[in-house]
Amino acid sequence: MRTFSTVATRLKPLALLPLLSLIATSCAPSAYNSRGGLGFFGVLYLIMAIYAVISLLKQDWSLGKKLLWGAIIWFFPIGGSIIYLLFSGRSN
């Protein structure tokens, strides 16, 4: 477990963007319009979700706290990102 934590803290958040975009888009299938493209709110959600996950990865919290906030963001796609950004007590 310590090895995973060490590797995760050394990875740059930009290296994780492809994975983060996959995660963010798989959470909210309702963000797509009838033609299969992202609508305005889908793009807004995608930006907010990616920002929340990158912010989460930058925190110097324990792995358990990061996993808890990650689960909140994952299982509550739009509300989880908003809850994280408003109430996480994160430092910039």
For residue 53, the tally of other CB atoms under 10 A from its CB is: 24
Helix, strand, or coil (residue 38): strand
CA–CA gap between residue 29 and residue 1 (Å, rounded): 33
CA–CA gap between residue 72 and residue 3 (Å, rounded): 24
Q: Is the pLDDT of residue 7 over 60?
A: no
CA–CA gap between residue 66 and residue 5 (Å, rounded): 11
Percent of the chain with pLDDT over 90: 10
Question: b/e for 15-43, b at 16 or more Cβ within 10 A?
Answer: ebeeebeebbbebbeebeeeeeeeeeebe
Q: Is the pLDDT of residue 16 over 80?
A: no
What digits encode the pLDDT tens for the residues 25-55?
555 555 555 666 667 877 888 888 889 989 9
Mean pLDDT of 17-30: 55
Q: Is the pLDDT of residue 84 over 70?
A: yes
pLDDT band at 87 (very low <50, low <70, confident <90, very high): confident
The mean predicted confidence, pLDDT, of the chain is 74
Write out the two tokens for 30: 């309702």
